[in-house]
Amino acid sequence: MSAPARLPDFAIGSDVRPGLAKLTEEAGELAEITGKLMAFPHGPHPSGRDLTAEFIAEAGDVLGTLQYIAATNNDIDADALEQRAADRLRTLMTWDENDRSKHGCDR
């Protein structure tokens, strides 16, 4: 009887950086829907697709995949990842507030 086939590196369940291939796929899908949202920011996509719902789904897929990577790659500290995300959010919110104030933008 032969040994079971080895999973490809970076695949879900692999021994080498599990989840990285899935993260690349999900990030690409998020980039695609983000491009569509930028092209049609105020109206429906010509296909009739709900771009906001698709953005939420794809962004959630990226977040879930990042959490999987943190849970399955022993050298990635999930707490450090969460802290970095919180730090980045604070920075982005500060930039947002400053830019909206500077340019008189409202939402």
Average pLDDT, the chain: 94
Answer whether 62's CB lies under 8 Å from 30's CB: yes
Mean pLDDT for 18-30 is: 98
Mean pLDDT for 19-40 is: 97
pLDDT reported for residue 87: 98
pLDDT reported for residue 93: 97
- pTM of structure: 0.88
Domain ranges of the chain: 17-76, 77-107
Q: What is the dihedral of CA 43, 46, 61, 96, to 10 degrees?
A: -30
Q: pLDDT class for 103, splitting at 50, 70, 90?
A: confident
Q: pLDDT class for 106, splitting at 50, 70, 90?
A: confident
